[in-house]
C-alpha cells in the first residue's frame, strides 16, 4: 500500500475524525480460529432483487436510473469470487431512509437505498439503482457531500469487512469534500471515482458506471476502516 493512499484516522478538516480518532496507540489483538468462521449475514439468502434497487417496492423510485458494476480484485489482479458486496446510498434528493437523517429533502416511498449481491466467477458485481443526490452534512459552513454510494465488502471473513465510498466523475463537490480529500494520494483518490461506461449503459434505460475495487496491495482501494 503506498503512503497516503489510505485516509488517516485523524484528519481535522473532516471534523468528526477529531472526536472519533483514537487518542492512544492502537493495540493489536491476536486472531483466533473463531474469528475466521464463515460470515452469517441477514436472515435470508441474497436474492436477485437485492441487486436491483429500482424494483424493491410497489412503484419505481424517482431519479436517474444507473447501472453500477465492476470487479472485486485481489492485490495480484485476480478476481475475488463469490464475495458479498453491499451498498447503501441516499435517494435522488439526497435523503437517506434513516432515523437520524433530518435533511429536509423528500423521502421516496419506493426507494430503500440498500442493496447486496455476490460476485460471479470473474469477480463481477452489478447493481441497478438511482443516482444519489448530494446532501449537506454540517461539517463546516455550507458543507455538501458529493454524490456517493457506500460500499461494504467482505474478504475472507466477517472480520475483514472493508467499507468505502464510490463517487461520480466530474462532480464539482469532490474538490471541497474533506472525506474525499482526506486521502493524500491523488491516484488513490482517483480510484474512488467511478468511470462512465457506454458499454454498461443500457439504451433507453440507464447510464452505466464502472467501479472496480481492489482489496489489498499497493493499488488497494482506499477504505475507511483500514489502519
Cβ contacts of 222 within 8 Å, gap of 6 or more: 5, 6, 7, 164, 183, 188, 189, 191, 192
Catalytic, out of 125, 148, 167, 209? 148
Answer yes or no: are the C-beta atoms of 147 and 131 closer than 8 Å.
yes
Catalytic, out of 11, 96, 125, 167? 96
Catalytic, out of 71, 95, 116, 150? 150
Catalytic, out of 135, 167, 189, 209? 135
Annotation marks residue 57 as catalytic: no
Three-state DSSP class for residue 158: helix
Annotation marks residue 145 as catalytic: yes
Annotation marks residue 167 as catalytic: no
Catalytic, out of 95, 116, 145, 189? 145
What distance in Å separates the CA atoms of residue 10 and residue 171, rounded to the nearest whole number? Answer: 25
Bridge partners (DSSP) of residue 116 are: 86
Annotation marks residue 140 as catalytic: no
What distance in Å separates the CA atoms of residue 211 and residue 196, rounded to the nearest whole number? Answer: 9
- Enumerate the active-site residues: 96, 135, 145, 148, 150
Amino acid at each position: 500500500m503506498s503512503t497516503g493512499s489510505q485516509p488517516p484516522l485523524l484528519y481535522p478538516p473532516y471534523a468528526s475524525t477529531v472526536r472519533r480518532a483514537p487518542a492512544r496507540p492502537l493495540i493489536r489483538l491476536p486472531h483466533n480460529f473463531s474469528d475466521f468462521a464463515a460470515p452469517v449475514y441477514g436472515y435470508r439468502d441474497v436474492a436477485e432483487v437485492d441487486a436491483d434497487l429500482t424494483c424493491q417496492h410497489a412503484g419505481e423510485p424517482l431519479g436517474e436510473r444507473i447501472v453500477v458494476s465492476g470487479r472485486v480484485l485481489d492485490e495480484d489482479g485476480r478476481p475475488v469470487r463469490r464475495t458479498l458486496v453491499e451498498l447503501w446510498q441516499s435517494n435522488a434528493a439526497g435523503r437517506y431512509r434513516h432515523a437520524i437523517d433530518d435533511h429536509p429533502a423528500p423521502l421516496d416511498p419506493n426507494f430503500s437505498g440498500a442493496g447486496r449481491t455476490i460476485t460471479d466467477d470473474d469477480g463481477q458485481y452489478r447493481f441497478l439503482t438511482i443516482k444519489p443526490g448530494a446532501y449537506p452534512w454540517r461539517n463546516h459552513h455550507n458543507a455538501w457531500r458529493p454524490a456517493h454510494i457506500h460500499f461494504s465488502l467482505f474478504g475472507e471473513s466477517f472480520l475483514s469487512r472493508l467499507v468505502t465510498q464510490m463517487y461520480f466523475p466530474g462532480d464539482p463537490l469532490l474538490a471541497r469534500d474533506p472525506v474525499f480529500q482526506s486521502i493524500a494520494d491523488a491516484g488513490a483518490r482517483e480510484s474512488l471515482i467511478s468511470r462512465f461506461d457506454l458499454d454498461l449503459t443500457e439504451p433507453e434505460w440507464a447510464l452505466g458506471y464502472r467501479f472496480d475495487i481492489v482489496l489489498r496491495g499497493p493499488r488497494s482501494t482506499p477504505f475507511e476502516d483500514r489502519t
